[in-house]
Structure 1
Amino acid sequence: MKKLSLQNRIAFNVIISTAFLIMVLCAVILITFKIHSDKLSAGTEITIEDVKYLFTILLRVCTVGCFFVFFFLFALSRRIARNSTKPIRDIINTANSITHNNLNARIPLPTRRDELYELSETINKLLDRIEYAVEREKSFTSYASHEFRTPLAVLKGTMEVLLRKPRSDEEYKEKIKACAKEVDKMNEMVEQLLILTRYEEGKSSLNYNHCFIEDLINDSVCIFSDAILNKKLEVTTTIQPKRIKLGNYILL
């Protein structure tokens, strides 16, 4: 029974129940005829009254027998239905317990590898994909917030310095260039986010071109040039000249 599918188990139980009912009715009829067979074996003449009496006894016995049989089958069917629908109740309870803060809940798999097992396994895989998508969105939001916080802080600091006291034209030009540089960084990050969003939605594909590793490192150093100067760091590289790799320059 444990290896049968849910559909086969239900069909098997219906067949067994029907066969049991027929066997009980046949046994009742045979016992009743056996009790009244003495009159037949003795050669006694059977009257209409005897036939009526026999059918009355059969009707009473079958009525009482069917009552007990149906009661037994009802109790057996309830037990079978309860065991068969337990995985469904587990699915409902697990689905009700899942919230945005509890995405790691999973449906316990039934012991039988039947249709309900496949349904539970499929829903668990769906929950895995949903949890992965939500966690990736959280990581993406955290990363984007962190990346935008730095240039915004630089812009705010620069503006506050400019407002403290009057500056010379050269100083204003220098600070404005620094602000424009941070704005360019933010535009580049927005472009990267848009590319990733379109790629995940399937609206575009990533274009891979030949990129010089030396140029990528130099651009990265330029991005953090202010921090490097403030901390008096020295950056040295040992990259082979004209070393080429395939990649997307904007995302790199």
Structure 2
Amino acid sequence: MIRTASGITDATMGTQLHLPLHKDEFYDLTQTINDLLGRIEESMLRQKQFTSDASHEIRTPLAAIRGTLEVLIRKQREPAAYQEKISGIIQQVDRLDRLLDQLLELARIESGITKPKHEPVPLAALVSGLYTKWKDAVEVKGISLSVRIPDDDRHGDKLFLEIILDNLVHNAIKYGKEQGHILIDWDEGQRSLLYVMMAMAFPEEHLPNIFSRFYRRSIQELQYQRKRAWTLHC
């Protein structure tokens, strides 16, 4: 037991101590140590996953900024063209700033420093504010976006709702078909936000993987179905 415990490192955190044959105090101690090792491993995996997620999210605006700057230095342009491109860079910097704030808040919540809030959230205004981020992509793919949300407040964590809605609609636009339709609706009876989209269907064998972060099937394998819906209870 001592030899096994001494050999556990970050790379072998999943190692478990062998349980004694007899269920005595030594057995209980070993089980307690194994439970502790399991919790430590879960904490380390969450930390690694968070780092991976943060890197993934931050790369997108950085890539957009780099691409815009590379275009700018290729040749001389009119002042209006520079102004347009620089405005785009500022928008990406603002997006990056928001991402960092969101990631910091998520880190605090996952670590238990803060808890999700239960506060009044003006959903209609929140969706309206997010629409400015989706507008260009929606127009490029010819997707129609309908929003049917009452103006009065709902309760929840504004930051979480903003992140969830932004990710759902972003993915619907990115992976949905052209000329598709996205509907964000409020179901008063269920007191929930219903999100329906023309989407790509996942065959049953892939369903266990859909909640894995960044899981993605081959685009060539995807087939369209009539609609897919998610419900967020507020």
TM-score by length of 2: 0.60
Give me the whole-angstrom Cα distance separating, in 2, the residues matched to 1:202 and 1:104. 23
Q: Look up the equivalent residue of 1:119 and give its one-letter code.
A: L
Task: Tell me by how many angstroms 1:127 deviates.
Answer: 0.8
SS of the aligned residue for 2:103 comes to: helix
Greater relative contact order, per chain length (Cα 8 Å cut-off, separation 6+): 1
The residue identity in structure 2 corresponding to 1:239 is R
Spell out, residue by residue over 1:152-191, the C-alpha distance to the aligned partner (whole angstroms, 9 max, x if none).
0000111111111222222222211111111111111111
Corresponding residue for residue 125 of structure 1: 35
Extract unaligned runs of 5+ from structure 2: 163-234
Equivalent in the alignment of 2:232 = none
Q: What does the per-residue CA deviation read over 1:195-226, in whole Å, with 9 as the maximum and x for residues that have no partner?
A: 23334555545443222333333444433444
Equivalent residue, structure 2, for 1:176: 86
Aligned pairs (5 A) from 1:1-252: 91-201=1-111, 203-230=113-140, 232-242=141-151, 244-251=153-160, 252=162
- Relative distance call for 1:151 and 1:95 in structure 2 (3 A) is same
Q: Which has the higher helix share?
A: 1
Matched residues in 2 for 1:125 and 1:183: separation? 44
Counterpart CA distance in 1 for 2:149 and 2:112 is 36
| Contact map agreement 1:188 1:250 (CA 8 A) in 2 | no
Per the alignment, in what secondary structure is the counterpart of residue 164 of structure 1?
Answer: coil
Call closer, same or farther: CA 1:235–1:243 in 2, change over 3 Å.
farther
Normalised TM-score (structure 1): 0.56
The one-letter code sitting in structure 1 at the alignment partner of 2:28 is E
- RMSD over equivalenced CA pairs, Å: 2.4
Cα distance in 1 for partners of 2:158, 2:40 equals 31
AA aligned to 1:250 is: L
CA distance in 1, matches of 2:78, 2:139: 23
| Runs of 5+ unmatched residues, structure 1 | 1-90
Q: 1:243 to 1:146 in 2, by over 3 A?
A: farther
Structure 2 CA distance for aligned equivalents of residues 163 and 92 of structure 1? 62
> Which whole-Å CA distance do the structure 1 matches of 2:101 and 2:70 have between them?
28
Counterpart of 1:210 in 2: which secondary structure? strand
Larger Rg: 1
Between the two proteins, the alignment pairs up a number of residues equal to: 161
2:92 maps to a residue whose letter is E
Partner of 1:14: none
Relative to structure 1, is the Cα distance of residues 228 and 209 closer, same or farther in structure 2, using a 3 angstrom cutoff? same
Secondary structure of the 2:158 match is coil
C-alpha distance in structure 1 between counterparts of 2:39 and 2:60, whole Å: 32
Amino acid at match of 1:174: E
